[in-house]
Amino acid sequence: MIITNVGSSVPSFSLKDQNGKVFNIDSIKGKSNLVIYFYPKDDSPGCTKEACSFRDQFEVFKKEDALIIGISGQSVKSHLAFAKKHRLNYTLLSDEGNKVRKLFGVPTSLLGLLPGRVTYVVNKEGKVVFVFNSQLNTDKHIEEALRILKELK
């Protein structure tokens, strides 16, 4: 397991998005700031709240030249239903088998029973500049990511 910390380069990976298209992080690395957030499960209460908060702040993130990418272990079909149901306006990636979660070193929580909720902010050079880990404080992921992006200017 690799631990992706502040100062690390964002690891290379490819996953399918909610539309079944292959998304390669290397194709956007270095072009925009990135907010990559790992969440436990589509349509659970905390994950829905977090996903909708990212959706509601989409234009603010866009002004900070940041792309939002949500990643969890559910299928493409599950992500598509989740995105449609909540009108999510950003990329969701299907990490079935949790390979990318392991690549980032996202910890589990609640005695290893629940996949962790961690947000990474990556600058235009492809370096991780901030990591926020909190299973329960979903709003703080959005607040902290925006705070860091504003500081990058």
Whether 52 is catalytic: no
Per-residue pLDDT at 135: 87
Residue 6 lies in a domain: no
Q: Is the pLDDT of residue 1 over 50?
A: no
Residues 6+ apart with CB under 8 A from 51: 39, 70, 82, 86, 88
Question: Is residue 5 assigned to a domain?
Answer: no
Pairing assessment for the beta strands 66-72 and 91-94 based on DSSP bridges: parallel
Closest among 90, 74, 69, 62 to 13, alpha carbons compared: 69
Does residue 127 have a pLDDT over 70? yes
- Cα–Cα distance for residue pair 141/55, rounded to 1 Å: 13
Residue 8 counted as domain residue: no
pLDDT tens digit string along 47-95?
999 999 999 999 999 999 999 999 999 999 999 999 999 999 999 999 9
Of the candidates 10, 25, 34, 47, the residue annotated as catalytic is 47
Is 9 within the bounds of a domain?
Answer: no
pLDDT at 76: 98
Percentage of residues in the chain having pLDDT higher than 70: 96
**pLDDT attached to residue 3:** 65
Mean pLDDT score of the chain: 93
Least confident of 57-71, 97-111, 116-130, 132-146: 97-111
Q: Is 111 or 60 the better-scoring residue by pLDDT?
A: 60
- Structural domain count of the chain: 1
- Whichever domain contains 142, its CATH number is 3.40.30.10
Q: Is the Cβ–Cβ distance between 106 and 132 less than 8 Å?
A: no
Give domain status of residue 101, yes or no.
yes
Domain enclosing residue 60, as ranges: 14-152
